[in-house]
Amino acid sequence: MKSIMLAAAALALSAGAALAADPIEGTWKTQPDDGAYAFVKIAPCGANFCGDIVKTFKGGAEFKSPNIGKQIVINMAPKGGGKYEGKVWRPANNKIYMGKITVQGNAMALAGCVAGGLFCKSQDWQRVQ
């Protein structure tokens, strides 16, 4: 009886670990770009992760950008070790780039790249939630 209870407890703990959120999930504050920044909510989209703009700020105050609701992190596939690869959209020039993300705790390094990753522009994002 004791071994059945231990097995059930172990199963419950392993199921809880499987349901734990991925490190990339949550709401992130972007680095300012052309004087504006945003809050981006990243969540699962199929087997990968996508992020939508949920709030925008300019001049230190919230404003209603036409970019609210648009996807900025696109189909980021987990690669292990807090690394992800997919695409990113830059609202300032309305272009989509090959994207790379590295998450370490509450900090994210995001890069948008061209020419097969030879030239990249990066931003540092901070977790809000």
Interval 64-77: pLDDT, tens: 999 999 999 999 99
Domains of the chain as residue ranges with CATH: 22-127 (2.40.128.520)
Predicted structure pTM score: 0.80
Contact 49, 67 (CB under 8 A): no
Nearest of 31, 22, 29, 127 to residue 81 by alpha carbon: 22
pLDDT band at 24 (very low <50, low <70, confident <90, very high): very high
User: What span, in angstroms and rounded, lies between the C-alpha atoms of 84 and 39?
Assistant: 19
Beta bridge partner(s), residue 102: 83, 109
pLDDT in tens, 77-102: 999 999 999 999 988 889 999 999 99
What is the structure's pLDDT at 4?
A: 43
Distance (Å, rounded) from C-alpha 40 to C-alpha 22?
16
